[in-house]
């Protein structure tokens, strides 16, 4: 069964600092996608970043980057220069064909 | 451009009453459609997904059902709500076979009393 594990229920970071959120997954698929979604207090789910498993290069989107370790089935999210607006729930997700499987989320607090 | 509408936004229902949550997508055809539930303090659990009209895949046996009567309409229903059905329900869509980025609706908060 495909599973996604986020072992950090809560994390905190000082504004302008860097924080890394962890995620591991389990799959028998060889071709798949991985995602990080952000859920702010409004509860609207927002796509942060996407990684294609066949690509060795780690995805980046402005201040957000991932460390994708395919053999270890690890997919961490690094947020650089953290901003107050980054405070939210962050969900790691895995896409085998046809459906997106989410982890339980990490609540990120950002302190000024 | 594509948009997704989900309603009602908030619902308070007594135990044993029926439920109907509706989701529609505009600006695309033959989307994949999804229903997720987010219980308090927990992640998103996939309930149902559909790759076409009348095609429903159920992920978790439960008190709920889903239907797709039209290409861009996805309905989540229950005949008799349980307390455990309380939660935040999210509808999402993706652009079909091979696509993988899901776009989510604003969600429906259901409280069963």
Q: Which two tokens stand for residue A45?
A: 């789910």
pLDDT in tens, A63-103: 999 999 999 999 999 999 999 999 999 999 998 777 888 99
* Contact state of A43 with B88 under an 8 Å Cβ cutoff: yes
pLDDT of residue A1 exceeding 90, the answer is no
With a cut of 90, say whether residue B97 has pLDDT above it: no
Pairing of strands A74-79, A64-69: antiparallel
Provide the mean pLDDT of chain B: 91
B36 and chain A in contact, CB less than 8 A: yes
Q: What is the DSSP string of B38-102?
A: E-TTS-EEEEEEEEETTEEEESS-SS-EEEEEETTEEEEEESS--GGG-EEEEEEEE-STT----
With beta carbons less than 8 A apart as the criterion, state whether A4 and A36 touch: no
Q: Is A70 left (phi over 0), alpha (psi -120 to 50) or beta?
A: alpha
Q: For A59-63, A90-94, B28-32, B106-110, which range has the lowest pLDDT when averaged over its residues?
A: B28-32
Is the model's pLDDT at B98 over the cut of 90?
no
Q: Is A84 on the interface with B (CB under 8 A)?
A: no
CB contact under 8 A, A50 and B104: no
Q: Does A62 touch chain B (CB under 8 A)?
A: no
For residue B43, the chain A residue with the least C-alpha distance is A104
Among the residue ranges A20-24, A61-65, A78-82, B52-56, the one predicted with the least confidence is B52-56
pLDDT tens digits along A30-64: 888 999 999 999 899 999 999 999 888 999 999 99
Domains and CATH numbers, chain B: 3-112 (2.60.40.10)
By Cβ distance, the residue of B32, B88, B90 closest to A98 is B32
Which of A35, A42, A105 lies nearest to residue B43, judging by beta carbons?
A105
Residue % of chain B over a pLDDT of 70:
95
pLDDT band at B88 (very low <50, low <70, confident <90, very high): very high
Domains, chain A, in order of start with CATH, read 3-111 (2.60.40.10)
pLDDT mean over A4-28: 96
Q: How confident is the model at residue B104 (pLDDT cuts 50, 70, 90)?
A: very high
């Amino acid at each position: 069964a495909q599973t996604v594990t986020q072992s950090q229920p809560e994390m905190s970071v000082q504004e302008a600092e860097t924080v890394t959120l962890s995620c591991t997954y389990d799959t028998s698929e060889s071709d798949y996608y991985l995602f990080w979604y952000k859920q702010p207090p409004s509860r609207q789910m927002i796509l942060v970043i996407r990684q294609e498993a066949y690509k060795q290069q780690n995805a980046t989107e402005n201040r957000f980057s991932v460390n994708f370790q395919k053999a270890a089935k690890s997919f961490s999210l690094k947020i650089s220069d953290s901003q107050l607006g980054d405070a939210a729930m962050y969900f790691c997700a895995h896409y085998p064909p046809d459906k997106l499987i989410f982890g339980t989320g990490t609540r990120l607090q950002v302190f000024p | 451009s594509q948009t997704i509408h989900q309603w009602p936004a908030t619902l308070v229902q007594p135990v044993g009453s029926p439920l109907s949550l509706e989701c529609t997508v505009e600006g695309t055809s033959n989307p994949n459609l999804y229903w997720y539930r987010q219980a308090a303090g927990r992640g998103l659990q996939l309930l149902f997904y559909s790759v076409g009209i009348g095609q429903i895949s159920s992920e978790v046996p439960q008190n709920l059902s889903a239907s797709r009567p039209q290409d861009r309409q996805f309905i989540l229903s229950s005949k008799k709500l349980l307390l455990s059905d309380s939660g935040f329900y999210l509808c999402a869509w993706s652009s079909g076979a091979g696509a993988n980025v899901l776009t989510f609706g604003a969600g429906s908060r259901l409280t069963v009393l």
